[in-house]
């Protein structure tokens, strides 16, 4: 198969490296509007070659590893591809993207969300093992042909991913809690520290707890503002629920109800029995 990858950062670059380790791929063509990104991706061996967007359209499979708003715009540019071309997006939201797939390529399209990543971005962030043993959620199979669904399953399986099928609306609700809300919290925590009178003195004392929770605040704001925009309603709901829990902890502290606070914390630690 000839693979086209639009977007050569962490997700797209890592995908290129992973696919090269399989026996399914004959050639991987990369595409980015940023010339520096293209040169870096090629020098790092993330793809076999850099091509034009027209070259991408001639591939057997096209992966869209770009911000979610850009995915919607790019799908419109792909509406004249062959019925045999599989189009797979890797966006962190699914409902808005699937809703905007042009009718002419609805049968070609498979929505996917690999549940993996790091706070780093750009071609140099690519990791060959990023997808190994991770979950990928596949949505939008109601409109996609079995041919394209089977091809997507084959590719994800060969790079070591565990496949879960889910309705796109359920996906977005779940993602708002387990992925999008943690990013909001991380950005808020980072801004809370930056807003202090002497943040450098505070950061000198920063240990694992702060570093772990603030790590996500290093993520690309350009990418994440698009995600927040597309999943706005679900994210607002999750933020509201989080605020209620935060207020509960605040009230227990204010009223010095430490036994109840301990029970509140103990209930939270039960999550580790599931994870």
Q: Cα separation of 234 and 214, whole Å?
A: 22
Last residue of a domain, one of 106, 140, 166: 166
- Structural domain including 54 reads 2-166
CATH code, domain with 30: 3.40.50.720
Residue range 132-189, pLDDT digits in tens? 999 999 997 677 789 999 999 999 999 999 999 999 999 999 999 999 999 999 999 8
Residue range 85-124, pLDDT digits in tens? 999 999 999 999 999 999 999 999 999 999 998 888 899 9
pLDDT over 90 at 201, yes or no:
no
Give the total number of structural domains in the chain: 2
Residues whose CB is less than 8 angstroms from the CB of residue 223 and which lie 6 or more positions away in sequence, other chains included? 67, 68, 121
Say how many C-beta atoms besides its own lie within 10 A of residue 85's C-beta: 19
Last residue of a domain, one of 134, 150, 166: 166
- Average model confidence (pLDDT) for the chain? 92
For residues 252 and 159, membership in a common domain is answered with: no
- Alpha carbon separation from 119 to 21, 86, 165, 275 (Å, rounded): 24, 29, 26, 21
Tell me, rounded to whole angstroms, the distance of Cα 178 from its chain centroid. Answer: 12
Q: Cα separation of 5 and 11, whole Å?
A: 10
Cα angle, residue 230 at apex, residues 34 and 91 outer, rounded to 5°: 50
Percent of the chain surpassing pLDDT 90: 80
Percent of the chain surpassing pLDDT 70: 95
């Amino acid at each position: 198969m000839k693979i086209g990858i639009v977007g050569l950062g962490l997700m797209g670059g890592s995908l290129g490296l992973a696919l090269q380790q399989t026996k399914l791929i004959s050639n991987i063509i990369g595409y980015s509007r940023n010339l520096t990104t293209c040169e870096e991706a090629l020098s790092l061996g993330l793809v076999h070659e850099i091509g034009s967007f027209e070259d991408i359209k001639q591939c057997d499979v096209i992966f869209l590893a770009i911000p979610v708003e850009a995915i919607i715009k790019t799908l419109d540019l792909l509406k004249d591809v062959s019925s045999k071309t599989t189009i797979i997006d890797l966006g962190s939201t699914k409902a808005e993207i699937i809703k905007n797939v042009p009718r002419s390529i609805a049968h070609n399209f498979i929505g996917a969300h690999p549940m993996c990543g790091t706070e780093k971005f750009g071609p140099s962030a690519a990791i060959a093992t990023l997808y190994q043993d991770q979950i990928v959620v596949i949505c939008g199979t109601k409109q996609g042909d079995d041919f394209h669904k089977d091809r997507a399953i084959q590719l994800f399986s060969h790079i070591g991913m565990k496949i879960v099928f889910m309705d796109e609306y359920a996906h977005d609700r779940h993602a708002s809690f387990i992925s999008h809300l943690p990013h909001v919290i991380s950005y808020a925590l980072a801004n809370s520290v930056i807003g202090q009178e002497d943040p450098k003195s505070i950061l000198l004392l920063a240990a694992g707890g702060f570093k772990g929770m603030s790590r996500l605040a290093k993520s690309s704001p350009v990418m994440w503002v698009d995600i927040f925009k597309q999943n706005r309603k679900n994210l607002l709901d999750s933020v509201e629920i989080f605020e209620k829990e935060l207020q509960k902890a605040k009230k227990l502290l204010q009223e010095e109800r430490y036994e109840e606070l301990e029970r509140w914390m103990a209930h939270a630690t039960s999550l580790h029995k599931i994870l």
